[in-house]
Structure 1
């Protein structure tokens, strides 16, 4: 085991104050209170958390700072917040409420200079650029507004630009793999890892513990993010970390 420890990151998609989970970005069902779930994952040994207000960008709302404050009061691990962040003032609100990092997606595609502004103002470690992409007939393309709208950006070209502009990490979700539980998009992830010099968080496809091992070995990811397998009790974080350690993957121990 060598190199930096691989991170396990539960993701909580929040809509109207509750955690929801769907398949391929559709058919959402409730998964519980985001603050309570966040606290549980923190206690179980998650390395970080991500909270995404999944309808903020499409509805033109701001992510709720009050939920962020409640989360910050309950957990002692870093967490990232995304959704509806369009300018530095939005970042200010979320960091002041207790978030450690912010995730931008649609706003970055529409106004790439926002990446530079956030990393220059707060440091690159605060800026996580989320990329939702799908493999179309003409290759991997990036999507905006919760996967509703295709952009003309190619995944790999956009990821390189994101890194060049100063983002600290990329959170890549394969829309084809999201919620399907058949494994991560390891081929695309490995290409990203080989061509970009910032950490890659893999998202979309976790269904069993082997998938986490594969994303760290075949996909070369720095962190693996998952939702439903954690929310619905299919995989416990301590059990997952014990398994990965046995398989020779360097992870921080659960508490």
Structure 2
């Protein structure tokens, strides 16, 4: 059985780590380089760095900040935000990213996933999906532009399409759960893990150790991502891993 991964996430806005609830009301958390270094010391398995305003502001991700973060961490680094072309991917990989996460641009042009996978390998290309439950249609709906814009895409179908296009991993954030600390969206990940056969990172809703245990016990996701509980010291990565081990979950 592959070890489950615990992944902190840095949502970065103009060089500062921010955190909100349901993708709004962002508050400043601190310097991404210092925070990344702290997670390195804690034993995080990977780090996700998302430039959360790059796409909306139609600008590339902040390469200099990524270079500084990459110089501090030796765990795998996934970078997303502001990626529109294969050249953008290359720029981030050269800056020190191990994987690139595409979201809005891939919805507009799924060929971007294929082109990236062909040039760098599927293992480098992560499809990030922002998901929100639509009560009218009784399905999970894909959102783009940092969760600001709804699409007519169904999350499960888009996940299948993205994997077929060449994505080697999915990072799926529940907008309904984001920042609420009420637990991961278990039905969402149960459906996703039955639909595709690539690693899935669950994101959104973690508030306590038991939420990590629940998502690994009740779904087949490969990794769980959290932000505010780690940023504000409510949980530490060693404490989470110890609890998971006690509950029979294999961790690194």
What's the TM-score once normalised by structure 2's chain length? 0.98
Unaligned runs of 5+ in 2: none
5 Å-filtered alignment, 1:57-96, equals 57-96=55-94
Contact persistence 1:187–1:218 (CA under 8 A) = no
Q: CA deviation at 1:238?
A: 0.6
1:18 aligns with 2:23: no
Equivalents in 2 of 1:102, 1:250: separation in Å? Answer: 26
Q: CA deviation at 1:221?
A: 1.1
> What is the match of residue 45 of structure 1?
43
Distance 1:55 1:16 in 2: 8
Deviation at 1:68, TM superposition (A): 1.1
Deviant stretches of 4+, over 6 Å: none
Cα distance in 1 between the residues matched to 2:159 and 2:204: 17
Structure 1 gaps, min length 5: none
Look up the match of 1:251. 251
Query: How far, CA to CA, are the matches of 2:208 and 2:10 in structure 1?
Result: 18
Shift of 1:72: 1.2
Asked whether the 8 Å contact 1:14–1:54 carries over to 2, the reply is yes
CA shift for structure 1 position 217: 1.3
The CA RMSD measured in Å over matched residues stands at: 0.6
Q: Counterpart of 1:58 in 2: which secondary structure?
A: coil
Alignment: residue pair count: 250
User: Aligned-pair distance for 1:219?
Assistant: 2.4
* Partner SS, residue 56 of structure 2: helix
1:224 pairs with 2:224: yes
User: For each residue in 1:101-145, what CA deviation from the matched residue of structure 2 results, as whole angstroms up to 9, or x when unmatched?
Assistant: 000100010001100000010000110000001001211100000
| Higher mean displacement: 213-222 or 14-23 | 213-222
1:174-189 correspondence to structure 2 within 5 Å: 174-189=174-189
Q: Deviations over 1:24-74 (max 9, x none)?
A: 000000111111111110110100000000000000010011111111111
1:198 lines up with 2:198 in the alignment? yes
